[in-house]
């Protein structure tokens, strides 16, 4: 539901946990339960399941692929991939803003740029060697 660039360092499961804990603790304090202890038990249960699911996704890579998004290629050989940028609702000006923040002035010097699962954009540039040959240079 969340775009990677807007979730930042919070994962989808982390965001869901925060919302569920807020709702559960609010209900426990608003006397929807018989005691505050009921609310505490519910919050502890939610935290347990969040940690357990994170542990499962760490332990079993198949589950990690289901829970965490993969990196998304935004630029290849100096050309913006419009279908992929459309998936994350990234405009050309937003992409160029991120590119400039990394000290790069145009897309033609970029070999690949990825939207990482954390929401950051990593850039792999071409670098001109003294012989006129292009080499890779990584900028994060």
pLDDT tens digits, one per residue of 14-25: 777 778 777 776
pLDDT tens digits, one per residue of 84-131: 999 889 999 999 998 999 889 889 999 999 998 878 889 999 876 555
Helix (H) or strand (E) holding 56: helix 36-59
- Spatial neighbors of 68 by CB under 8 A, at least 6 apart, are 11, 12, 57, 117
CB-side neighbour CA atoms (13 Å) of 92: 6
pTM: 0.58
């Amino acid at each position: 539901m969340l775009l990677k660039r807007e979730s930042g360092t919070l994962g989808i499961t982390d965001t869901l946990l925060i919302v569920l804990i807020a709702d559960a603790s609010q209900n426990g304090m608003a006397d929807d339960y018989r005691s505050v202890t009921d609310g505490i038990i519910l919050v502890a249960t939610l935290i347990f399941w969040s940690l357990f699911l994170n542990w499962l996704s760490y332990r079993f890579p198949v589950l990690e692929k289901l829970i965490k998004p993969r990196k998304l290629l935004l630029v290849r050989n100096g050309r913006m991939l419009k279908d992929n940028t459309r998936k994350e609702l990234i405009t050309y000006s937003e992409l160029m803003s991120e590119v400039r923040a990394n000290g790069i002035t145009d897309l033609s010097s970029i070999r690949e740029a990825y939207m990482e699962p954390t929401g950051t954009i990593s850039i792999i540039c071409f670098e001109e060697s003294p012989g006129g040959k292009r080499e890779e240079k990584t900028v994060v």
